[in-house]
């Protein structure tokens, strides 16, 4: 039995590719922030990341689209929520979820004149803390698509007119029918760690956009991205970036999981390169989430989904797996050890996969069927740490240590 | 006047029945929001329209216009409509 276990572990490590040895630094426990269709949960691990304690539900029955820690104070949580009956709002906790207070002015579009048709925020979809030099600043992305900013730790929110009232806005996001089934979403709001005025964001649909002046002006960043056959790639509304991430230790590099493949861009180039073509053809390079290595800009993980036929958005063939590249997308390896081998039709949403800062990196994903899976070794082995949660929308790692 | 509060909004009022004032529905909602901050936006969107799954009845009659007049002794019921699973 022992020999089999050793062989199994060895095989799993080989499948995962190179996993660096731990550096001997003290590793802290992990906190996972989980948003679901029916509330939010917080899972806390011991330092080995083997034992998990559950804290929740918080806001049972509320639609919790995103729960995010403020990395600048490591105490504040913001939760994007609504219910089936009640309008969208943001809740804030300054004690890691012990107590909560609602935003005094949640994200809302400006009221229009009598007789005009004004936009109404259906739900707050995405939350991004601002730059470390701007404590208290947060950004929110909504459905229908809007960008909002708070300067007081998420208590009150103002629209960012440079985007929301941009003359090309309607051209970017298309008509009322465009966007995801649950409404068009503004997501992947990224603040350049070197420059608080340099922002990126993704619009589903509507492409990737960049601002160099804190959101006053925007330019489109879609060169090299493919669109569905028969559609003009110069039409910004045809572009559907599912998830965009910026490399923590190389802010000139971004990766993107798109409706039409996986891409990389190395700034100052404005051209995306499709790196998903080297994925196995039976799996394809369609999916939603994308997780970057905290220290290695050549390493990222994706969780492919079936984008063929009627777009089931489930694990291809009912065999779930993450895939990792350790060379910027030249080659990919399948990571499915510990995951079900058949008849497992998992769906993982764009916010529902995350990585921690440990070495080796811990990976976590939540499924729409309510399970949370974890790996302590960069995807070499997976184990389920939570079952029977509601439909999972978001999984974030809260780094509570300096 | 008396206002009956549905369960989704009782995290604000802590009560199924509250007192509030106003000569119109708009004024009543503004008064409710003063007493229970944040409550109005959960019911009424930024374009001053009743949200899709909320209903308001005045003396048993459904009302959707915020300028609807209210008598001092009106009975107001805020009701949650069906919103699916």
Q: Nearest 5°: CA angle at A264, between A364 and A237?
A: 95
Q: Place A401 in a pLDDT band, splitting at 50, 70 and 90.
A: confident
Structural tokens at position A271: 């051209």
Task: Flag whether the ipTM exceeds 0.85.
Answer: yes
The C-alpha of A88 sits at a distance from chain B's nearest C-alpha, in angstroms, of: 7
CB atoms inside a 10 Å sphere around CB A316: 20
Res. A262: pLDDT tops 90: yes
Res. A23: pLDDT tops 90: no
Has residue A15 been placed in a domain? Answer: no
Contacts across the A-B interface (CB distance below 8 Å):
52
Task: Report yes or no: A90 and A79 within 8 Å, Cβ to Cβ.
Answer: yes
Of B45, B49, B84, the CB nearest to A84: B84
Has residue A336 been placed in a domain? Answer: yes
> Is residue B49 less than 8 Å (CB to CB) from chain A?
yes
Are residues A193 and A309 located together in one domain of the fold?
A: no
Tell me which chain B residues have a C-beta less than 8 angstroms from the C-beta of A85: 6, 8, 51, 53-54, 80-81, 83
Are residues A84 and A176 located together in one domain of the fold?
A: yes
Of A84, A86, A108, the CB nearest to B46: A108
Are residues A299 and A151 located together in one domain of the fold?
A: no
- Alpha helices for chain B (secondary structure H): 10-13, 25-35, 39-43
CB atoms inside a 10 Å sphere around CB A48: 9
Has residue A358 been placed in a domain? Answer: yes
HSE-CB at A60 with a 13 A cutoff on CA atoms is 4
> Is residue B7 less than 8 Å (CB to CB) from chain A?
no
Q: Which residues contact A365 (CB under 8 A, 6 or more apart)?
A: A289, A303, A322, A348, A352, A353, A354, A372, A373, A395
Domain boundary among A239, A271, A302: A239
Res. A402: pLDDT tops 70: no
Are residues A221 and A329 located together in one domain of the fold?
A: no
C-alpha to C-alpha distance for A178 and B28, rounded to whole angstroms: 38
> Is residue B15 less than 8 Å (CB to CB) from chain A?
no
Are residues A286 and A168 located together in one domain of the fold?
A: no
pLDDT at res. A26:
63
Are residues A136 and A268 located together in one domain of the fold?
A: no
Of B44, B49, B54, the CB nearest to A85: B54
Task: Report yes or no: A89 and A104 within 8 Å, Cβ to Cβ.
Answer: no
Q: What is the pLDDT of residues A91-107, one digit of tens each?
A: 999 999 999 999 999 99
Are residues A230 and A264 located together in one domain of the fold?
A: no
Q: What is the pLDDT of residues A343-387, one digit of tens each?
A: 999 999 999 999 999 999 999 999 999 999 999 999 999 999 999
Are residues A253 and A139 located together in one domain of the fold?
A: no
Has residue A51 been placed in a domain? Answer: no
Res. A13: pLDDT tops 60: no
Strand (E) or helix (H) holding A402: none
Domain boundary among A239, A271, A294: A239
Sheet arrangement for strand A101-102: A63-69, A77-82, A89-93, A101-102
> Is residue B37 less than 8 Å (CB to CB) from chain A?
yes
Task: Report yes or no: A146 and A186 within 8 Å, Cβ to Cβ.
Answer: yes
Are residues A205 and A303 located together in one domain of the fold?
A: no
Sheet arrangement for strand A300-304: A287-292, A300-304, A322-325, A333-335
Are residues A313 and A359 located together in one domain of the fold?
A: yes
Q: Place B15 in a pLDDT band, splitting at 50, 70 and 90.
A: very high
- Alpha helices for A31-134 (secondary structure H): none
Give the structural domain span for A251: 247-402
What is chain A's mean pLDDT, rounded?
A: 92
Q: What is the pLDDT of residues B38-75, one digit of tens each?
A: 999 999 999 999 999 999 999 999 999 999 999 999 99
- Class of residue A168 by CB neighbours under 10 A (exposed 0-12, middle 13-18, buried 19+): middle
Has residue A34 been placed in a domain? Answer: no
Closest CA to A133 of A180, A179, A43, A71: A71
Long-range Cβ contacts of A26-32 (<8 Å, 24+ apart): A27/A358, A27/A359, A28/A400, A28/A401, A30/A356, A30/A358, A30/A362, A30/A397, A31/A69, A31/A96, A31/A397, A31/A398, A31/A399, A31/A400, A32/A354, A32/A364, A32/A372, A32/A395, A32/A396, A32/A397, A32/A398
Has residue A98 been placed in a domain? Answer: yes
Domain boundary among A239, A257, A276: A239
Has residue A5 been placed in a domain? Answer: no
Look at A239 and A16; give whichever has higher pLDDT. A239
Structural tokens at position B32: 């409710």
Q: Which residues contact A62 (CB under 8 A, 6 or more apart)?
A: A38, A39, A40, A81, A82, A83
pTM score of the predicted model: 0.93
pLDDT at res. A14:
47
pLDDT at res. A321:
98
pLDDT at res. B84:
63
Are residues A190 and A216 located together in one domain of the fold?
A: yes
Has residue A294 been placed in a domain? Answer: yes
Are residues A67 and A214 located together in one domain of the fold?
A: yes
Q: Which residues contact A387 (CB under 8 A, 6 or more apart)?
A: A370, A371
pLDDT at res. A383:
98
Q: What is the pLDDT of residues A181-197, one digit of tens each?
A: 788 999 999 999 999 99
Query: Maximum distance among all alpha carbons in chain A?
Result: 76
> Is residue B83 less than 8 Å (CB to CB) from chain A?
yes
Domains, chain B? 2-80 (3.10.20.30)
The CATH number covering residue A203 comes to 2.130.10.10
CB contact under 8 A, B46 and A118: yes
Region A53-64 average pLDDT = 97
Best mutation target among B33, B41, B44, B49 (most A Cβ atoms within 10 Å) is B41
Domain count, chain A: 2
């Amino acid at each position: 039995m022992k020999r089999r276990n050793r062989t199994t572990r060895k095989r799993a490590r080989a499948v995962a590719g190179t996993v660096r040895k731990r550096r001997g630094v003290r590793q802290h426990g992990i906190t996972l922030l989980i948003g679901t269709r029916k509330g939010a949960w917080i899972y806390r691990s011991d330092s080995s990341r083997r034992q998990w304690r559950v804290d929740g539900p918080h806001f049972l029955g509320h639609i919790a689209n995103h729960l995010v820690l403020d990395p600048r104070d490591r105490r504040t949580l913001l939760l994007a929520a609504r219910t089936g009956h009640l309008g969208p709002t943001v809740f804030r906790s300054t004690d890691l979820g012990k107590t909560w207070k609602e935003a005094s002015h949640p994200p809302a579009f400006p009221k229009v004149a009598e007789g005009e048709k004004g936009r109404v925020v259906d739900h707050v979809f995405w939350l991004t803390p601002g730059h470390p030099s701007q404590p208290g600043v947060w950004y929110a992305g909504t459905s229908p698509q809007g960008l909002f900013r708070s300067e007081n730790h998420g208590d009150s929110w103002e629209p960012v007119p440079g985007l929301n009232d941009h003359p090309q806005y309607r051209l970017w996001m298309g008509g009322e029918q465009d966007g995801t089934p649950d409404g068009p979403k503004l997501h992947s709001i990224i603040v350049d760690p070197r420059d608080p005025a340099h922002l990126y964001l993704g619009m589903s649909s509507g492409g990737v956009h960049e601002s160099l002046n804190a959101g006053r002006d925007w330019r489109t960043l879609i060169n090299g991205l493919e669109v569905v056959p028969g559609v003009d790639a110069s039409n910004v509304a045809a572009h559907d970036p599912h998830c965009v991430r910026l490399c923590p230790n190389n802010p000139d590099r971004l990766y993107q999981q798109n409706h039409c493949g996986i891409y990389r861009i190395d700034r100052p180039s404005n051209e995306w390169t499709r790196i998903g073509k080297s994925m196995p053809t039976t799996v394809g390079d369609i999916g939603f989430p994308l997780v970057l290595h905290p220290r290695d800009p050549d390493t990222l993980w994706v969780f492919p989904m079936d984008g063929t036929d009627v777009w089931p958005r489930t694990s291809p063939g009912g065999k779930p797996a993450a895939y990792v590249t350790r060379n910027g997308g030249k080659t990919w390896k399948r990571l499915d050890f510990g995951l079900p081998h058949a008849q497992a039709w998992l769906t993982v949403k764009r916010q529902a996969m995350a990585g921690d800062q440990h070495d080796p990196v811990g990976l976590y994903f939540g499924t729409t069927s309510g399970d949370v899976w974890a790996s302590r070794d960069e995807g070499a082995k997976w184990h389920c740490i939570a079952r029977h949660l509601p439909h999972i929308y978001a999984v974030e790692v809260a780094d509570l240590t300096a | 006047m008396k206002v009956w509060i549905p369960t989704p909004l009782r995290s604000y009022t802590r009560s199924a029945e509250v007192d509030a004032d106003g000569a119109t529905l708009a004024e009543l909602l503004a008064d409710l929001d003063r007493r229970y901050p944040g409550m109005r936006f959960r019911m009424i969107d930024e374009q001053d329209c009743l949200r899709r799954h909320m209903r308001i009845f005045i003396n048993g009659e459904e009302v959707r216009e915020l300028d609807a007049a209210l008598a001092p002794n009106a009975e107001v019921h805020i009701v949650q409509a069906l919103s699916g699973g």
